[in-house]
Structure 1
Amino acid sequence: MEAGKPSYVFDRGAEWEALSAFAGRPLPHAMLGVVSGRRRMGKTYLLRALVEQCGGFYFGATAGAEAESLRQFSSALAGHVGSPVPFAFATWHDAITYLFGLAAPGSGGRPFLVVIDEFPYLVKSSPELPSIIQREIDRYQAEESRMRLLLCGSAMSVMGGLLASSAPLRGRAQLELVVRPFGYRAAADFWGVADDPALAARLHAVVGGTPAYRRQFLADDVPASLADFDDWIRRTVLSPFSPLFREARYLLAEETDIRDTALYHSVLAAVAQGNRTRGGIAGYIGRKSVDISHPLNVLEDSHLLMRDADVFRAGKSQYRITEPLINFYEAVMRPAWAQLENGQAAEVWAQATERFAAQVAGPHFEGVCREYVLGPGRSLLSTSLGQIGGGVVTDPKARCQIEIDVAVVGPGSGGAKPSVSLLGEAKWGTVMGVKHLERLGRARDVLAGRGYDTARCALGCFSAAGFSDALRTEAERGGVLLIGLDELYGRTMPDPVLP
């Protein structure tokens, strides 16, 4: 029986449904779940709420030597079962064996939920722990057990490796859940700025959808209006007295696989400066492409960097930073770190207006537009199928490349041509006009000449600054989507496009 989500847990409906279904599933054997996600996403908050609703045992590990960690676990487990004296397990083998014994069939009727949080801390000092858990899981697949074990952690590379290739727990998990940041609309609701899309878009470009930043870090210091945004930036993110000031550095330092943080910051800075290809990143930091393979892989495994495939050119891709605060740090803060530490936030921010627009807000806006098409905007198109991304269309006649920020491309199968249902361009600070539409139209013609089915391809103009009257007139003829901030945040609903 699934537990109802508490009212104090904001959003996270899908995550709660998956967790409560796992915790309450009435099967007669042990079950394993793995919950991961970058720090500050609210994993612990969510799991503690689950234990509170369902009952069970929660243990939050800390960094420490094996003997200390085992002693802490033993003490917590003794408290859970009501033992008057702490347990003194000699090894993790003894502790895990006892833990699974608590879920034996004769000890009660309903499933026994166990949450071990920050599991990577335990694995670091006791690498054999996954193998010990695997042995008990396998044992209680054959024997009856009420065990519902959730392993949780923030070190993405470690958590991802728990179920990979030849890892001991490979094939043993019935749940693998990644707790991600809030989407841009949910984040606006969480910060209480959904009624001001211009403010919501700027705020999301800086702090993204990380829930801890509002309450734990800033004690509910929210910009009161768009006019207050600049002052909010100066008194929070750019203030050396604010917890957010060094947060981007800490996010990188906390990843266990990152050793040379200077190199990784250089890679991220290269991407923030607009060098998004492997060759561009290598050239920016003065290395050969082969020399940056490892840091790129580590940053991808840590979910700090993502590689987006070009939907029109096989084998081509570009990198982007997934954490907005890191992108803001690399583009705005790191180049002026000495001045910021000296309390010159006002001067730094005054000089960073163009950089913020070009390197932070602009690229972030493109991602928000793709998220819109992936979610509420899908109903506007002629089909809900297809890959959403961006890419480059090469125009051989004009000898130029047309960058497409938002595209929906369907794969060809059974002899059918690959189809394109949307070609879009996104502009943060530019009022879009007919020329933008003509460029998209030219890209559609080029793709049609290359064998794509473009018969029902809509053209989309996404702008945070608005649209010219001439473009609006063109849009009224049909086949064109005009999506501004009001549409992105659901304050206005555009008409479906059915060319």
Structure 2
Amino acid sequence: MFDREWEWSELTAFATAEGAGPRLGVVSGRRRQGKSFLLQALADATDGFYYAAVEASAAESLRLLGEAIARYTGAASPPRPATWDEALELLFDLAAERPVTVVIDEFPYLVRNAPALPSQLQAAIGVRSGRHLTRHPRILLCGSAMSFMDGLLSGGSPLYGRAGLDLTVHSLGYREAAEFWGIDDPRPAVLVHAIVGGTPAYRREFVDDDVPEGADDFDAWVCRTVLNPARPLHGEAPYLLAAEPDLRSRSLYHSVLAAVAGGNHTSGGIAGAVGRKATDISLPLTVLKNCGLLTFEPDAFRANRTAYRIAEPLIAFHHAVVRPQAALLSRRRRAAQVWEHSRSTFLSKVVGPHFEQLCRQWAEWHAAPETFGGMPIQVSAGTVVDPDRRTSLEADVVVHGAIGQDQGILLSVGEAKWQKVMDLGHLERLRRILHLLAARGVDTSHATPACYSGAGFTTELRAAADRGEVLLVDLERLYRGS
């Protein structure tokens, strides 16, 4: 188990809590994050019952559940529940003598053919008298269909207000991901993270522990893993979409994701790239957000502007690099040719925006309060209109935070460059942004200009940093500093 101590403590606390009657918990998260591993380990540690549903008819699901109960209890013949009410009675009976962890993994598969199941479960949990009071199942429902799982405990759901645990298993942070992959050098760590993100399963199950042996091996690693049709990682991104039940017109959703991967982050820009009206893509954007495949971030300085970003790095890589070259990649030994043609696209369209996101995460998660002179609370990107020059200036890392009791203070405005050595020109640009903000009435007295670079800084810019005029964050500080 790696970097799941908090999740494990929450699960064990739920499973071992005192109290009569049934208890309900929900565990969600995108695929491949280790939810099933955690729940199987919990069932083993507590001598509990674990059942992983499959895509099947209601009748077959009931039969498979009965067989799983028989294996758990050691019964000579499996029970044959004819309805889900009968099946729930069997599950509750497992906890007749002691509290028992009851895990139902891939719960959305069951509800697909038994839509009344949440209501039936609510009715069973809601009975607080009779023999239900003397049975103590600790029921954990798990699923990867994020839109479904998010709605399971919403206000309109039968299970609203019934859960004592609502746990989301997130991807590993970028620092933890580098440790998990065993990559000590920050440069290849960023490049690998820009493809596989912090999804634990991708290292072992999907590339068979194939890790780049330093920066010089990265190109070859890409060719032998994610660009190799024989490796599971190659086809994973389309599967992530196919596994979401709410995605109907998949071609449109792929086009929307391709537009975002291509650098379009506003609804208007995405609509233009897709060839639709902005109103036509509002539903796909909402669905992709609900599925956890897109995030949207409000602009730090423009309340009516929102930036859409792909949440799963592998999907961004797929739509920027793999999908446009699918025909060539389907042929043998063409990965090197595709990569030679696509590497510049990868660096500009994938790594550049990804590096900006890592810099925002550093500012929010790892920067010490003294770094910005206050506690970072909200970190995002922002756009400032320059009316004199008739242009807009973008700030990649905008930090708002708290100084004492004051909230929402502008602490920093920063720019991030993956491939460029940053110089005094970048500092002057940040000073221009602060000047424009001050002219609009924004308090910039506490704001520090910050330069984030994957390529380094000029001697002149480092001298400015020594004078306290600018904050510099390089790859070493991004991964090991605060």
Shorter-chain TM-score tier: over 0.9
Give the Å deviation of 1:178: 1.2
Query: Structure 1 residues 458 and 232 mapped into 2: Cα distance closer, same or farther (>3 Å)?
Result: same
In structure 2, the residue matched to 1:132 is 120
In structure 1, the residue matched to 2:209 is 220
In structure 2, the residue matched to 1:289 is 278
The answer to whether the 8 A contact 1:419-1:452 is kept is no
In structure 2, the residue matched to 1:324 is 313
CA distance in 2, matches of 1:413, 1:93: 56
CA distance in 1, matches of 2:341, 2:448: 39
- Do residues 486 (structure 1) and 450 (structure 2) align? no
In structure 1, the residue matched to 2:390 is 399
Identity of aligned residues (%): 50
In structure 2, the residue matched to 1:206 is 195
In structure 1, the residue matched to 2:336 is 346
SS in 2 for 1:465: coil
Larger mean CA deviation between 45-54 and 118-127 belongs to 45-54
Residue by residue over 1:188-233, the C-alpha shift from the partner in whole angstroms, topping out at 9 and shown as x without a partner, is: 011100x211110100001111111111111111111110100010
CA distance in 1, matches of 2:47, 2:155: 33
In structure 2, the residue matched to 1:456 is 446
The answer to whether the 8 A contact 2:33-2:201 is kept is yes
- Do residues 170 (structure 1) and 160 (structure 2) align? yes
Residue by residue over 1:447-485, the C-alpha shift from the partner in whole angstroms, topping out at 9 and shown as x without a partner, is: 222222222211111110111111000000115221111
Give the Å deviation of 1:418: 4.7
The answer to whether the 8 A contact 1:185-1:489 is kept is yes
Give 2:259's aligned amino acid. Answer: A
- Do residues 14 (structure 1) and 3 (structure 2) align? no
- Do residues 47 (structure 1) and 39 (structure 2) align? yes
CA distance in 2, matches of 1:100, 1:116: 13
User: TM-score, length-normalised on structure 2?
Assistant: 0.96
CA distance in 2, matches of 1:356, 1:59: 41
CA distance in 2, matches of 1:24, 1:444: 54
Give the Å deviation of 1:80: 1.3
Larger mean CA deviation between 170-179 and 21-30 belongs to 21-30
SS in 2 for 1:332: helix
**113, 134, 137: which one aligns with 1:147:** 137
In structure 2, the residue matched to 1:190 is 180
Give 1:44's aligned amino acid. Answer: S
Summarize the alignment of residues 310-459 of structure 1 with structure 2, pairs less than 5 Å apart.
Answer: 310-343=299-332, 344-379=334-369, 380-410=371-401, 418-459=408-449
CA distance in 1, matches of 2:133, 2:162: 15
CA distance in 2, matches of 1:417, 1:201: 32
- Structure 1 stretches of 5 or more lacking a match? 1-8, 495-499
Query: Structure 1 residues 27 and 383 mapped into 2: Cα distance closer, same or farther (>3 Å)?
Result: farther
Query: Structure 1 residues 411 and 280 mapped into 2: Cα distance closer, same or farther (>3 Å)?
Result: farther
**266, 271, 275: which one aligns with 2:264:** 275
Summarize the alignment of residues 4-83 of structure 1 with structure 2, pairs less than 5 Å apart.
Answer: 9-83=1-75
Query: Structure 1 residues 219 and 400 mapped into 2: Cα distance closer, same or farther (>3 Å)?
Result: same
**232, 241, 251: which one aligns with 1:252:** 241
Give the Å deviation of 1:410: 4.1
Residue by residue over 1:365-399, the C-alpha shift from the partner in whole angstroms, topping out at 9 and shown as x without a partner, is: 01111111111114322111431111101223333
User: TM-score, length-normalised on structure 1?
Assistant: 0.93
Residue by residue over 1:13-57, the C-alpha shift from the partner in whole angstroms, topping out at 9 and shown as x without a partner, is: 221121111111112232211111111111111111111222211
